[in-house]
Amino acid sequence: MGGIVTLASCSYPDQAEPYGVQTVDRLVIPEHFAFQVCLLEVNETLHIGSQLVAYIQQAPLKDLSISLPIILSLISSCPFWLHRFRGEICHALTARLIVSESLILSLYYNDSANSCAKRRKLINVPSNASKDSAPQIGEVESDHSDSAVTEPPPSQLFHYSYDYTPFRPEPVLKWWVNVAAETRSDSTFVADMPSETVLYDPIEPKHLVSRFKVYHIKEPYDVLARKKVELYFRAPSNPEVFNLSSVVILRSGPDPKRDLSIMSIFEYMNYIWFTRDNSFMNIIISVKTHKVIPLTENLGAFECINNAYRLNQVSEIETRPLNRLIATAAGFYVACFVLGIHDRCDSNLWILSDGTYFSQDFGPCLSGKTSLSIPLLLRKLLQDKWDDFISVCLTSFDMLRFDRKQLIEYSKLMFSQHDPQYVQKQISFRCTPEARSELFELLLSSPNDF
């Protein structure tokens, strides 16, 4: 989008409170946070994992596909004395996998992004067999050369051979890689999916993609290779009609698993703020998140957020979206401060028409220094509300600090590729009274002009 815009209260339709819950009862946890509730139960109750098993069994395919990498990390980090809990998780996940090609595809993406040398063993269950008799993921057939291996090491847990299922995910990953590497001169092209490629939309996995449209993204400040990909499925009532399923940004660059971890921790922070009714003008403090699907070590599909303006395109903002701007910008900067995310650039900062503030690109995190880079453009938009913004930031930080133990454990799970002691040290370092004082000083000295 080009030009300068003004965000007005009438520029977007009336919306419910965040995550579909009205202001009347903050004790009602919305379905949006079901997965966070289940993971908390694993840490805090004696009935270990019962809700998480139920979540795996009953969660919508869309939610389970996004949560799958986290579940795999939980299983691989599960201590040996919780083998029964791990077995229940494996059994529940196997039952979902044997009836869902799109979930197998999500599993294959996870393998590729983690550079697994071995592939998972999934024993194909006959159609007349019951789900209760399905073998657990990680089991190995007795007539194979590696049959002596009954439990792979944690880093290789769940590995199976995709030869045991008629669905072939390999062509799908090759298709993504080829689209990312496409160098044709025309900036936009449309094509039907190859017959040998069975692609399920990674954002809306119930849709089988039949056609796609690719846009080359070329902007002078963009150092990463990107393409916007529209995915279409055939209308059930008329196969000649193609409906838009979703739009993703295909990005080559830094490890997309890092972005996935950051988004997951942001969601947990949103859960903390929601359950503590942390709000500004009846708007719950939150960080805008988006779906991230790591495809390889350096290629990922990112949910495209439409109808957004770059920060430098917004000249002024009216009261209603201004309140949401304060609530979401405060959540964003506090979350970045706690996770040690720096290297913010105003070209990567966006505002939705309702005032929601967000970014889709993140630099290194868990750094050893504390800093906060708030652009002058944001200060100009907030005007005389700057003190309110600082107050909301400090209150939001206090809530994260109060729940720092759970936040640290959750972050260690999300950053499973890092040394857990290092993750704990870096986040603990930013959840102290001294860190709060430093945050306050950084806010007072902001904004920093880029």
Each residue's pLDDT, cut to its tens digit, for the chain (450 residues) gives 455 566 654 333 333 333 333 333 444 666 778 888 777 766 554 445 678 888 899 999 999 998 988 888 888 777 777 778 888 888 888 888 888 899 989 988 988 887 643 333 333 333 343 434 333 333 333 333 333 333 343 334 544 455 556 778 889 999 999 999 887 766 788 999 998 899 999 999 999 999 999 998 876 555 567 899 999 999 999 989 999 999 999 998 878 888 999 999 999 999 999 999 999 999 999 999 999 999 988 899 999 998 899 998 888 888 789 999 999 999 999 999 999 987 566 778 999 999 999 998 887 788 777 778 888 899 999 989 999 999 999 999 999 999 999 999 899 888 877 788 999 999 999 999 999 999 999 999 887 543
Contact 360, 260 (CB under 8 A): no
Contact 83, 181 (CB under 8 A): no
Interatomic CA distance for residues 35 and 414, integer angstroms: 13
b (16+ CB within 10 A) / e for 390-400: bebbebbbebb
Question: Is 0.85 surpassed by the pTM of this model?
Answer: no
CATH of domain 256-291+305-445: 1.10.1070.11
Tokens 């770059």, located at residue: 310
231 three-class SS: strand
316 three-class SS: strand
Q: How crowded is the C-beta side of 120, counted as CA atoms within 13 Å?
A: 29
Tokens 């995190």, located at residue: 365
Please spell the DSSP secondary structure of 80-134, one letter per residue: GGGHHHHHHHHHHHHHHHTT-HHHHHHHHHHHHHTT-SS----PPPPTTS-GGGP
Instruction: Residue 435: name the closest of 334, 350, 346 by CA.
Output: 334
Interatomic CA distance for residues 244 and 304, integer angstroms: 13
Give the chain's largest Cα–Cα span.
Answer: 73
Rg of the chain over all Cα atoms, to the nearest angstrom: 23
Tokens 């920060």, located at residue: 311
Interatomic CA distance for residues 345 and 359, integer angstroms: 10
Interatomic CA distance for residues 430 and 333, integer angstroms: 13
Instruction: Residue 97: name the closest of 128, 69, 131 by CA.
Output: 131
For 328-351, the three-class secondary structure string (H helix, E strand, C coil) is HHHHHHHHHHHHCCCCCCHHHEEE
Interatomic CA distance for residues 69 and 72, integer angstroms: 5
Q: Tally Cβ neighbours within 10 Å of residue 416.
A: 20
Interatomic CA distance for residues 40 and 407, integer angstroms: 10
Interatomic CA distance for residues 90 and 97, integer angstroms: 10
